[in-house]
Amino acid sequence: MLQNESVILRGDMIRCALCKDAPCDAACEKLKPSGLLRSVWFDNEQGAALRLSEDNPCRDCDAPCERACVRPGEVPVRRLLGRLYGEVRPMAETPLPQNEDRLKCDLCGIALENPFLLSSSVVASTYDMCARAFEAGWAGACFKTVSSLDIHEASPRFSAVRDSGGGIMGFKNIEQLSDHSVAENMEIFRRLKAKYPSKRILASIMGQNEAEWGTLSRLCEENGADAVELNFSCPNMAEGGLGSDIGQVPELVERFTAAAKRACHIPVLAKLTPNVASMSPAAEAAKRGGADGIAAINTIKSVTTVNLHTFVSAPAVRGHSAVGGYSGNAVKPIALRFIAEMAQNPALAGLHLSAMGGVETWRDALEFILLGGGSIQVTTAVMQYGYRIIEDLKQGLNLYLSEKGFSGVGEAVGLGLDALHATTDALERDTVVFPRFHRESCVGCGRCEIACADGGHQAIRLNEARRPVLDGKRCVGCHLCALVCPQRAITPGRKRVALRSQPSI
Ligand SMILES: Cc1cc2nc3c(=O)[nH]c(=O)nc-3n(C[C@H](O)[C@H](O)[C@H](O)COP(=O)(O)O)c2cc1C
């Protein structure tokens, strides 16, 4: 049974470096531990468990994999694989699907092998890169934005906000557009189309005026693109009315979308900026201009990491920095909100939503699908982990769809929309859900008590055995304790319906 959260937490294997040509694989005669560990990392532990043979070869093994590790002894490979055998595999109810038919879907009428595309960025900027991504299993690529501008990038051009394990949680870039000429990019499209006819090429373009939006769309179609994505949203090209400035002005979105539509016959998507309070005005303008779909989100304007000695934020380019675009897993909640906003807007009915912003795992992707995303695009996770993440994206989603009895990914699109409200006013407020403490996994750290005392309602005390005891009269059911518990040993428990007294008139 697929859990709402992983049984094995990423924290259990945080020291795994997710190596290329992993030494643990070379040391093991029976398994390829690196692929299994990667599946655990990317929330596809059930897929990993189902790929294992019946017998656990690790049981009588003295773990040469752990000694061969680039961090010898720091990654509990044997214990993790033992948990896949002992805890995850017995709970799996569905066998691994035999094919990927359930993943087939479409983007504005164009058939996709699966919903996963590279989003427009450095990860899809050359023939070789796209070819390797296609071979790895991506359904297509939205190519790095093509323009006639002369692009000279700054160095360095990225910075990262890290999580407590050292991984990249948020990512800032000050990169602009493709630095190949239009002609060079068109040649790449032709070669990709010839070699990979079943893969999809979305051509991201940025024009400087109506005529150029039209010319670029036409050229992309003539050279093999399956769809055009209009970049109205690059925060690093905002001067002179380009980039995200266009996405903030619905009249320009409508005008330039109409220009692109007039010039080509393939589907046109408008890629919109999250640097607005609501995406609907620009999305509705794109629809008026004839757009077939919306792609969102592009990156969020941001400043990261001010150096405390030089006083310059990152990335520092010869002593100066600039506001740049934020992406990666940290932006997912913001991206989900924009996708849901558009999916719930009746004025946008019928538009394809190509969703992106922080997708790393199949669970991330599924959240976008449940909120209306018809296809999924990815950049930052690929920059961090490589094209290989497609294996767990596809297998995890396929397994979920199979277990839920869906015959295709399209059946899941938008299923989360009815239960999502734009404001909190719509929510029932009379039920209190108390926390349930799982004593077998509690280690007695007292973090729940601290959080409740200083950030809650002073409803938890620790007993002599350092285990939490709840004062039901004080508890308001906020669940801060469950969120801070490092053991995940607190879950929703008993409910109490406390009808509010009627206000006196
Ligand atoms: C280094 C970098 C370069 C990017 N270049 C472009 C671009 O040329 N055109 C574009 O439309 N979006 C560009 N993006 C935005 C991504 O396509 C995507 O919208 C955004 O990063 C959110 O997805 P993610 O969290 O999966 O990265 C770029 C993003 C990054 C990180």
Question: Domain tally for the chain?
Answer: 3
Residues near 346 by beta carbon (within 8 Å), at least 6 away in sequence? none
Structure-block tokens of residue 422: 């734009």
Q: Which atom of ligand 1 approaches the CA of 331 most closely?
A: 25
CATH classification of the domain holding 282 = 3.20.20.70
Structure-block tokens of residue 444: 């007695």
| Residue whose CA is at the smallest distance from ligand 1 atom 10 | 120
498 band by pLDDT with thresholds 50, 70 and 90: low
Q: What is the pLDDT of residues 366-413, one digit of tens each?
A: 999 999 999 999 999 999 999 999 999 999 999 999 999 999 999 999
Q: Determine the distance separating the centroid of ligand 1 and the alpha carbon of 380, expressed in angstroms.
A: 7
Q: Determine the distance separating the centroid of ligand 1 and the alpha carbon of 370, expressed in angstroms.
A: 22
Q: What is the pLDDT of residues 126-150, one digit of tens each?
A: 999 999 999 999 999 999 999 998 8
Q: What is the distance between the alpha carbons of residues 279 and 339, in angstroms, rounded to a whole number?
A: 9
| Residue whose CA is at the smallest distance from ligand 1 atom 14 | 121
Tell me the percentage of the chain whose pLDDT exceeds 90.
Answer: 86
Q: Which atom of ligand 1 approaches the CA of 177 most closely?
A: 8
Q: Is residue 318 part of a domain?
A: no
Judgement on whether residues 17 and 83 belong to the same structural domain of the protein: yes
17: containing domain: 10-91
Domain limit, last residue, from 381, 412, 443: 412
How crowded is residue 485: how many other Cβ atoms within 10 Å of its Cβ?
22
CATH classification of the domain holding 433 = 3.30.70.20
505 band by pLDDT with thresholds 50, 70 and 90: very low
Judgement on whether residues 189 and 69 belong to the same structural domain of the protein: no
- From 116, 117, 118, 119, give the residue whose CB has the most ligand 1 atoms within 8 Å, as the site to mutate: 119
Across 35-58, average pLDDT: 93
Judgement on whether residues 401 and 278 belong to the same structural domain of the protein: yes
Judgement on whether residues 56 and 111 belong to the same structural domain of the protein: no
For the range 209-215, what are the long-range contacts, defined as Cβ-Cβ under 8 Å and sequence gap of 24 or more? 210/255, 210/256, 210/259, 211/259, 212/148, 213/256, 213/259, 213/260, 213/263, 214/259, 214/260, 214/262, 214/263, 215/263
Q: What is the pLDDT of residues 246-302, one digit of tens each?
A: 989 999 999 999 999 999 999 999 999 999 999 999 999 999 999 999 999 999 999
Q: Which atom of ligand 1 approaches the CA of 335 most closely?
A: 22
Which residues have any ligand 1 atom within 6 Å of their CB? 119-122, 144-145, 171, 173, 175, 177, 204, 231, 234, 271, 298-299, 327-328, 331, 356-359, 378-381
Q: What is the distance between the alpha carbons of residues 435 and 179, in angstroms, rounded to a whole number?
A: 54
pLDDT at residue 1 in the model: 60
Q: Determine the distance separating the centroid of ligand 1 and the alpha carbon of 119, expressed in angstroms.
A: 6
Residue 198 has pLDDT above 90, yes or no: yes
Q: Which atom of ligand 1 approaches the CA of 359 most closely?
A: 26
499 band by pLDDT with thresholds 50, 70 and 90: low
Judgement on whether residues 482 and 343 belong to the same structural domain of the protein: no
387 near 136, Cβ under 8 Å? Answer: yes
- From 298, 354, 362, give the residue whose CB has the most ligand 1 atoms within 8 Å, as the site to mutate: 298
pTM for this model (two decimals): 0.96
Count Cβ neighbours within 10 Å for each residue of 233-266 and write b for 16 or more, e otherwise: bbbbbbeeebbbbbbbbbebbbbbbbbbbebbeb
Judgement on whether residues 108 and 81 belong to the same structural domain of the protein: no
- From 379, 385, 389, 390, give the residue whose CB has the most ligand 1 atoms within 8 Å, as the site to mutate: 379
Q: Determine the distance separating the centroid of ligand 1 and the alpha carbon of 332, expressed in angstroms.
A: 13
Judgement on whether residues 27 and 136 belong to the same structural domain of the protein: no
- Look up 24 and say whether it is catalytic: no
Q: Determine the distance separating the centroid of ligand 1 and the alpha carbon of 432, expressed in angstroms.
A: 42
pLDDT at residue 504 in the model: 43
Residue 239 has pLDDT above 80, yes or no: no
Judgement on whether residues 454 and 408 belong to the same structural domain of the protein: no
70 near 23, Cβ under 8 Å? Answer: yes
Q: What is the distance between the alpha carbons of residues 208 and 289, in angstroms, rounded to a whole number?
A: 17
Q: Which atom of ligand 1 approaches the CA of 158 most closely?
A: 1
Q: Determine the distance separating the centroid of ligand 1 and the alpha carbon of 337, expressed in angstroms.
A: 18
Read off the DSSP letter of residue 335.
H
Mean pLDDT computed over every residue of the chain? 94
Q: Is residue 114 part of a domain?
A: yes
Q: Is residue 3 part of a domain?
A: no
Domain limit, last residue, from 412, 445, 476: 412
The torsion region of residue 405 among left (phi > 0), alpha (psi -120 to 50) and beta comes to: left
Q: Which atom of ligand 1 approaches the CA of 377 most closely?
A: 26
Q: Determine the distance separating the centroid of ligand 1 and the alpha carbon of 203, expressed in angstroms.
A: 14
Q: Is residue 129 part of a domain?
A: yes
Q: What is the pLDDT of residues 411-456, one digit of tens each?
A: 999 999 999 999 999 999 999 999 999 999 999 999 999 999 999 9
Domain limit, last residue, from 356, 379, 412: 412
Judgement on whether residues 32 and 125 belong to the same structural domain of the protein: no
Tell me the percentage of the chain whose pLDDT exceeds 70.
Answer: 97
Task: Single out the catalytic residue among 58, 65, 69, 234.
Answer: 234
Judgement on whether residues 182 and 38 belong to the same structural domain of the protein: no
Structure-block tokens of residue 486: 């490092």
| Residue whose CA is at the smallest distance from ligand 1 atom 23 | 357
Residue 501 has pLDDT above 60, yes or no: no
Partnered with residue 294 across adjacent β-strands are 270, 353
Q: Determine the distance separating the centroid of ligand 1 and the alpha carbon of 194, expressed in angstroms.
A: 26
Judgement on whether residues 122 and 252 belong to the same structural domain of the protein: yes
pLDDT at residue 252 in the model: 95
| Residue whose CA is at the smallest distance from ligand 1 atom 13 | 121
Could you identify the residue written with the tokens 């693109």? 225
Residues near 65 by beta carbon (within 8 Å), at least 6 away in sequence? 24, 25, 27, 28, 33, 77, 78
The torsion region of residue 21 among left (phi > 0), alpha (psi -120 to 50) and beta comes to: left
Judgement on whether residues 193 and 123 belong to the same structural domain of the protein: yes
